[in-house]
Structure 1
């Protein structure tokens, strides 16, 4: 799946490749932030998006936001469309050109063998791509560059089973502690206990459940035995 088709299919979560290639696309973080507000309009029911609203949200002036609009359009990352609907003028921000440029950038990176541009393939069905999508769906937010790097290390350097990472994510979500440090702590504890596969996790859970059943049975036997002494 290309970045453009990813966008056109209605995905609200930005592809991580956009973050990894941020410096290849955007002039500065302010422009990127303004572009994200435009993307928000494209992917939600937000009807009106005024420069003054963006300026207030990011702590900048309207003039600053307008300059970002100019730089984004000049860089081919944004198209601003003015349309007339029943006599009312509306402004539409089309953010798809940024995804088209990203696709071109990734394609060129593959042809040139550039690791800096294509270090983290997002649209090729890779295991890392799938993990990123799972994390972002479960956590309801984008992963930070730090989290993406740590996730990549778990796969490549620590050689952690992707299925085990997903189990740690599930446990963190179940416990209501969806921060990265907690997920890392779960994986560290499992490694210390020699747990390296999902099968081991399932066996430990079954063993734990079996002990609970035995405890309940013992309590019931004790109750029945105690009843013998009752007149």
Structure 2
């Protein structure tokens, strides 16, 4: 390979294109011409020319300078490109393109995507929660029970994972009722229980406190596991 060719190629520089831009430009209302024009502006800025003319941009593309001007106006209207004032070291004012609006729009798109995924995950968790309750109760939930679940989620801000942990605690205790589960959740919230691991440890601690076998009972192995009665004050 010609070394001079490689050197000239490297000296010409490279434009780094964020993968997020390639995957999100369509969602931002842009097309391939818009994207290519933005990439060329990035290239010009990188080479030190911060305000290329429509004619200079058109020389690199397969569209006319008139169309370039139209696309530039559209990009500015869509708030993915802006024109800013700059000042040289000699105090000379000039205009330059800024891609800051583009990066901000991409950040908004990414943030929105995360929010949508979080909402979808929350809805999935809530649907799973209703299914788990119906499986454990062995029947469809009554309207009042559904309202209780909605209250735990919406009014109390309980995590579906914590509600499932309280359900498991009730199942293990053999006290499968919404009143019992509500008491568990109230106790956990009052004691700052926020994770499944904290709930597990909290339950163990309470069961240990509530179970004080006498010597005779201790000598004979117990066939049942002691559980804390969450309904007691």
Q: TM-score range by the shorter chain?
A: 0.3 to 0.5
Normalised to the residue count of structure 1, the TM-score between the two structures is 0.40
Whose RCO is larger (CA < 8 A, sep 6+)?
1
